[in-house]
Chain A
Amino acid sequence: MLEIKCPYCGKRSQNEFAYGGDATVKRPNLGDEVSTKEWDNFVYFRDNPRGKHTEYWHHVAGCRQWFKASRDTATHEIFNTASLEEEL
């Protein structure tokens, strides 16, 4: 079980959190013209790196804040976490 540092609550066990996917994906702005390819990239296509991955986590059984984490997908090492406003 991973130990994840919530930027608001501190270190907590993984079972308090929900994984939220790749945090480098940016949703197209509402109302913008979006090509099919661009939209498909946003909705469906994700990199699957072996190594460092920037991702969202939700402290769902805690403060209910979403935040970012940098994690190694192979070793599960979490390099750091940051609130949404901060740089990772």
Chain B
Amino acid sequence: MSETFRTISENNTLDKSKVINFTFNGDSFQGYEGDTLASALIANGVHLVGRSFKYHRPRGFLGVGVEEPNAMVQLHEGDKSEPNIMATEVEITEGLKAKSQNCWPSVKFDIGEINNVLKRFFPAGFYYKTFMWPKSFWMKVYEPIIRRAAGMGVAPIKPDPDRYEHNYEHCDVLVVGSGPSGLASALAAANNGARVILAEDKAHFGGSLLTDNVTIGNKSGKEWADETISYLKSLPNVIVKNRSQVFGYYDHNMTVMFERVSDHIHNPEKYMPRQRLHYIRAGEVIISTGSIERPLSFGNNDRPGIFLASAANEYMKVYGTLVGKKPIIFTNNDSAYKAAIEFHKNNIKSLIIDTRPSSDGELVKEAQSLGLDIKFNSGIADVKGRLKVTSAIIGKFNSDKESYTSLEEFDCDCICMSGGWTPTVHLSSQAGNKLKFDESLDAFVPNNKRQKETAVGAANGSFTLNQSLAEGFQVGFDLSNSITSNNKNTSVPTSNEPSFQAHDKFWCMPLPQGKNPSRFIDFQNDVAVSDIELAFREGFRSIEHVKRYTTLGMAGDQGKTSNLNGLQHVSNIQKKIVPEVGHTTFRPPYTPVTIGTIVGREVGNHFQPTRKTPTHEWHIENNVVFTNAGLWLRPRYYPRGSETMSDAVNREALNVRKNVGICDVTSLGKIDIKGPDAAELLNRVYTNAWMKLPIGKARYGVMLREDGMVFDDGTTTRLSENHFHMTTTTAQAANVLSHLEFYLQVVWPELKVNVLSTTEQWSGAAIAGPKSRDLMQKLFPKVDFSTENFPFMGLVETEFEGIHAKLYRISFSGELAYEVNVESNHGLFMWNEIMKAGEEFGIQPYGTEALATLRIEMGHVSGPELDGRAVPYDLGLQGMVSQKKDFIGKRSLEKDAFVNPLRQTLVGLVPVDKKTKIPEGAHLVENDKASLPNPKLGHVSSSCWSVEYNNPFSIGVLKDGKNKIGQQLFAVYPLKDISIPVEVVSSHYVDPKGERVRV
């Protein structure tokens, strides 16, 4: 092993029998099972891991967990490559490949570091001040250069090969965080019979119990944590999850948790997803998320080797790793002394710099009794060492703490700093809790809750173990009892921990005289004390504006270590107290979440359900090209040989006009309507009359919205006195059903009618063309297909080889046509029989493109015309509107705007050259050379190649269209610089009298 920075103590979470090989920037290293990438690199003496976002300054590790702002790496290679991963959150696995990001050519020699030299030219807001001129340079020159220079990792360009899952959970009590208060709450709630989920972000449970020298009952904190976890795991009403971060708190106690299922496993089982997203709807949420240590601001405080003291302590106690061997501890409070004491156990003497004049805390006394050198009333003014800290310039404060009496340089290889502790209030705040500022803690704590959440322990500002445990047990019991009423109380164990003295309200060290090193507040975004001062000088006062101008607290870490120091500094400058400055909004996610996890299984063909008709496989065997119609896959056309799409579409359409074609119409919406008031319902929802429709007859109907706009159309057939079969367009099927249900349940509950979707019960085939009657007669010899006995809009129920079949004589193509409906499971059989019988008549399948051609030629409206902006008059459907009865939307049709004769109405359009196809969406104008804005008279809605006349034909809406027939206009499409002279004709281009359907 090349590593040398390990502790003497073996009492940690590493398994030293399992050596793991990994590479960082191409160099090979070894660590142990249980190491994070961060602890393994530190153990190998590697501190320089990345370059900062803006100035490309060398950066190392600051923290040990989710708070890490600096150590972002690119993991893996190829399609598994992943940028911006916190090295502190990655557990190493055999063969892991990681590298630094935002540096070139290497992390040690990075050309971008010139930005650091030039940093006086890149202050806060430099974006807004520079690169402004000339304007045309922004897109082509400045932005690409800035994008290359700034930024972080590189996004992979290939699809993500990993699998992700979503999971939905319900519980009585969700406990977030497994520190002392979280374990206490979970234990109390579980003992009281509640269904509990306990979530821990890290691999190991216990939180501060893993690092603090405390006792609970007669055990060490860690032993108590281990025991409590094994007990909880044994209970049937408890789910215990590690590597699981609750990152979002939404309405009605919906929380979202991100679980790293197999990232830490070298060869995961095939069934394991990589990561999992849990949606947890909890009765009560207990937020025991602990606290995060604050850094201190001093010159060059971002150099590699400068850690949070708590991180240094955790690296030693949990990961058996030394962050250095010549440490300086720099603190404004007692807690950092834990690191000094732990170093001492490894025979390493720390130099302790304390900003306070003195402290009587038990940890301080212990450090003194160990003979450690403590310099009170002192601070670090600056540090030396560019790629790794080598020494610190330390000074004693003057009485006003605004300068130093003298400066002295001390060698070191690491600095462990502590500016006190910030309760992790993110989830509480996301839940709508109005935080309050606690002046004794100098931090925000939860106060007024809006949802069922309760913070306990450090997250609630309760920093002693006694308080944390008492709160945890009490809250766990109270909240669970409100749900279970079991009254089973769990007794609180006694606990013992060192006493603490108050922290110093002092975070930002004075500069050494005559020097101006950067004192960073936000490491991830390179925001220094001077940037905040600049923002103030330039007039930014609101904390939200300061944040956006300086980028303080933005980016991946969302200011976990920087927010409060930033606020403190703003309040110092503005001479206000922090609560008057306020805080920025905490938003989910608390930690970065992979896009793959958010998407889950809904990728590729699983993005949405696919609806297939019973004849789906037949279409595929016949070389279909499908199109998406809502969720349905519908045949678009069936190319033969080397046919292009337009060849195939024209052939299919022409065959319907000349012979007979068959089209899969299964996807049309079908609604079964039953009840004594069924006809009355239809009379109210359709614009035309329905009461007298004879049994066995169909009628075309148009329905409106209350605002008078055409909503849907289709044919509805009376099967018996009180039984109707309604069809809707494919697109509106679901909306029409909801619409009918609304009126039946809400508006007219007195109507006795039931409605039910039967779309999937029936398989439909439209048989259209002049030879369709001959084909039908051959298929159903017992049925009389003469117009007298089976007229247009007629229904005949019959059977085919024992299968019940409903035959409708309806037509969308404008040709003589029938529709054969059989129950879905017979759909494919029926289709095959039709194809067999139709061979002698030249039957061919036709898809939605040919269907569109046929209906456009006939001037039949469809989706593009029913666009929610047309009243019946606009579409030539005024004949469908009954004057005798009231119906949904009728009153709107009387509005002035809707009876205006100059409204845009449906017309046909033929290009003057009879060759150029008119693009759908083209605008109709009188003069294509007119100056802009050129008055728009209408637009082209549907276009086809007319197979009847062998030239392009379109329909569209045109202002005062009826009076413009015969005129010449221009169809213009400015996006593609197209202008086509067109002649306005009737929308009924083929068979204007509608004779063919009635032969």
Q: Do A and B bind each other?
A: yes
Enumerate chain A interface residues (CB-CB to B < 8 A). 1-3, 13, 18, 20, 27-28, 30-31, 34, 36, 39, 42-44, 56, 58, 60, 64-66, 75-76, 78, 84
Known A42-B706, A60-B738; contact A66-B891, beta-carbon cutoff 8 A = no
A18 to B734, CA, bound (A): 12
With contacts A3-B281, A66-B745 taken as known, whether A58 is within 8 angstroms of B738 at the C-beta atoms is: yes
A64: contacting residue among B254, B279, B684, B741, CB under 8 A = B741
B252 pairs with A1, CB closer than 8 A: yes
- Note all chain A residues with C-beta closer than 8 A to B887: 30
Question: With an 8 A cutoff between CB atoms, is B867 at the interface?
Answer: no
A15 to B892 CA separation, bound complex (whole angstroms) = 33
CA gap between A65 and B755 in the complex, in Å: 12
State how many angstroms separate the Cβ of A5 from the closest Cβ of chain B: 10
- CB of B886 within 8 Å of the partner chain: yes
The yes or no answer to B450 lying at the interface (CB within 8 A) is yes
Which of B281, B684, B742 meets A20, CB within 8 Å? B742
Contact A3 B706 (CB under 8 A): no
B251 adjacent to chain A (CB < 8 Å): yes
List residues 874-911 of chain B with CB under 8 A from any CB of chain A.
Answer: 886-887, 891-892, 894-895
**How many residues of B are counted as interface, with CB atoms below 8 angstroms from the partner's CB atoms?**
25
Nearest neighbor of B756 in chain A, beta-carbon distance: A64
Evaluate whether A66 and B254 lie within 8 angstroms (CB atoms) in the complex, with A30-B684, A39-B891, A60-B738 already known. no
State which of A3, A43, A56, A65 has its C-beta within 8 Å of the C-beta of B707.
A43
- Can you give 28 contacting A-B residue pairs, CB < 8 Å? A1-B252, A2-B251, A3-B254, A3-B281, A13-B254, A13-B281, A18-B738, A20-B742, A20-B746, A30-B684, A30-B886, A30-B887, A34-B891, A36-B894, A39-B891, A42-B706, A43-B706, A43-B707, A44-B707, A58-B741, A58-B742, A64-B741, A65-B745, A66-B742, A66-B745, A78-B252, A84-B746, A84-B749
CB closest residue in chain A, given B747: A27
Measured between C-beta atoms, what is the minimum distance from B949 to chain A in Å?
43
Residue picked from B450, B886, B887, B891, most chain A C-beta under 10 Å: B891
Contacts of A78 in B (CB 8 A): 252
Check: B45 CB closer than 8 A to any chain A CB.
no
The answer to whether B892 and A39 touch across the interface, beta carbons within 8 angstroms, is yes
**Complex CA–CA separation, A48 to B886 (angstroms):** 30
Interface string of B238-274 (1 = CB under 8 A from A): 0000000000001111100000000000000000000
Question: A13 → chain B, closest Cβ, in Å?
Answer: 7
Which A-B residue pairs are the 8 nearest by beta carbons?
A3-B252, A30-B886, A66-B745, A76-B251, A31-B886, A1-B254, A39-B891, A27-B747
Contact B707 A66 (CB under 8 A): no
Question: Nearest Cβ distance between residue A40 and chain B, in whole angstroms?
Answer: 8
B696 at the interface (CB under 8 A from A): no
> Other than the known A1-B252, A3-B251, A39-B891, what 19 A-B pairs have Cβ atoms closer than 8 Å?
A1-B250, A1-B279, A2-B252, A20-B746, A27-B747, A28-B891, A30-B887, A31-B886, A39-B892, A44-B707, A56-B742, A58-B738, A58-B741, A60-B738, A66-B742, A66-B746, A75-B450, A76-B252, A78-B252
A65 to B892, CA, bound (A): 28
B873 CB, nearest partner CB in chain A, Å? 18
Q: How far is the CB of A24 from chain B (nearest CB, A)?
A: 12
For A58, the chain B residues whose CB sits under 8 A away are: 738, 741-742
Cα separation A75 to B250 with both chains bound (whole Å): 11
Residues of B bordering A, CB below 8 Å: 250-254, 279, 281, 432, 450, 684, 706-707, 738, 741-742, 745-747, 749, 886-887, 891-892, 894-895
Closest residue on chain B to residue A58 by CB atoms: B738
A75 touches B432 (CB 8 A): yes
Complex Cα distance, B886 from A58, in Å, reads: 26
Residues of chain B within 8 A of A84, CB atoms compared: 745-746, 749
Question: How near does chain A come to B170, taking the closest CB pair, in angstroms?
Answer: 9
Q: Which residues of B sit under 8 angstroms from A31, Cβ to Cβ?
A: 886
Residue of B whose beta carbon sits closest to that of A31? B886
Residues of A within 8 A of B450 (CB): 75
**Closest Cβ–Cβ distance, residue A64 to chain B (whole Å):** 6
Expressed in whole angstroms, the Cα–Cα distance for A60 and B735 within the complex equals 10
The minimal Cβ–Cβ distance linking A73 to chain B, given in whole angstroms, is 12
Determine how close the nearest CB of chain B comes to the CB of A19; give it in whole angstroms: 11
Nearest chain B CB to A6's CB is how many angstroms away? Answer: 13
Give complex CA distance A85, B710 in Å: 31
Chain B neighbourhood of A28, CB < 8 A: 891
Kindly list chain A residues whose C-beta atoms are within 8 Å of the C-beta of B281. Answer: 3, 13
Contact B741 A66 (CB under 8 A): yes
Query: Is A43 a contact of B251 with CB atoms below 8 Å?
Result: no
Question: Whole-angstrom distance between the alpha carbons of A72 and B615 in the complex?
Answer: 49
Q: How far is the CA of A28 from the CA of B886 in the complex (A)?
A: 11
Closest CB in chain A relative to B672 CB, distance in Å: 14
Distance between Cα atoms of A74 and B742 in the complex (Å): 26
Specify which chain B residues have a CB less than 8 angstroms from the CB of A2 in the assembled complex: 251-252
Shortest Cβ distance from residue A21 to the other chain B in the assembled complex, whole angstroms: 10
Tell me, in angstroms, the Cα distance from A77 to B95 when the chains sit together: 51
Give the residues in chain B near A76, CB-CB below 8 Å. 251-252
Which residues of chain A are near B279, meaning CB under 8 Å? 1
Closest to B708 in A: A43
Closest to A20 in B: B742
- Once bound together, how far apart are the Cα atoms of A42 and B886, in whole Å? 16
- Chain A residues near B738 (CB-CB < 8 A): 18, 58, 60
Given contacts A1-B254, A2-B251, A2-B252, contact A43 B741 (CB under 8 A): no
User: Looking across the interface, which residue of chain A has its beta carbon closest to that of B744?
Assistant: A66
Inter-subunit contact A1/B742 (CB<8 Å):
no
Chain B residue at minimum C-beta to C-beta distance from A60 = B738
Q: Which residues of chain A have C-beta atoms less than 8 A from B745's C-beta?
A: 65-66, 84
Question: Which chain B residue has the least Cβ–Cβ distance from A75?
Answer: B450
Closest to B895 in A: A36
Bound: A65/B749 CA distance, A? 12
Q: How far is the CA of A78 from the CA of B707 in the complex (A)?
A: 30
Residues of A within 8 A of B742 (CB): 20, 56, 58, 66
List chain B residues, Cβ under 8 A from A36: 894-895
Measured CA separation A43–B738 after assembly (Å)? 18
Measured in the bound complex, the distance between the Cα atoms of B888 and A39 in whole Å is 12
- Chain A residues with CB under 8 Å of B749's CB are 84
If A30-B886, A58-B741 touch, whether A43 touches B892 (CB-CB below 8 Å) is yes
Which residues of chain A have C-beta atoms less than 8 A from B894's C-beta?
36
The residue of chain A having its C-beta at the shortest distance from the C-beta of B749 within the complex is A84
In the bound complex, residues from chain B placing their C-beta under 8 Å from that of A75 are 432, 450
Q: How far is the CA of A78 from the CA of B745 in the complex (A)?
A: 22
CA distance A42 to B890 in the complex (A): 13
Chain B hits for A30, CB < 8 A: 684, 886-887
- Supposing A42-B706, A64-B741, A65-B745 touch, asked if A1 and B891 sit within 8 A by C-beta, the answer is no
Q: Which B residues are in CB contact (< 8 Å) with A13?
A: 254, 281
A61–B886 Cα gap in the complex (Å)?
Answer: 32
Shortest CB distance A9–B (Å): 15
**Closest chain A residue to B250, Cβ basis:** A1
When distances are taken between beta carbons in the complex, the residues of chain B under 8 Å from A27 are 706, 747
- Give complex CA distance A20, B746 in Å: 11
Closest chain A CB from B432 CB (angstroms):
7
Among B432, B746, B887, the most chain A Cβ lie within 10 Å of the Cβ of B746
A7 to B74, CA, bound (A): 51
Taking a contact as CB atoms closer than 8 A, the residue among B684, B746, B886 that contacts A56 in the complex is B746
A83 nearest CB across to chain B (Å) = 9
B704 to chain A, nearest CB (A): 11
Asked if residues A1 and B251 are in contact (CB atoms below 8 Å), the reply is: yes
Closest A residue to B705 using CB positions? A43
Which A residues are in CB contact (< 8 Å) with B707? 43-44
B743 closest partner in A (C-beta):
A27
Residue of A at shortest CB range from B170?
A11
Instruction: State the Cβ distance, A60 to closest chain B Cβ, in Å.
Output: 6
Q: How far is the CB of B710 from chain A (nearest CB, A)?
A: 15
Report A-chain residues with C-beta under 8 Å of the C-beta of B747.
27
> A66 to chain B: which residues have CB within 8 Å?
741-742, 745-746
Contacts of B684 in A (CB 8 A): 30
Closest to A32 in B: B886
Chain A residue numbers with a CB within 8 Å of B706 are 27, 42-43
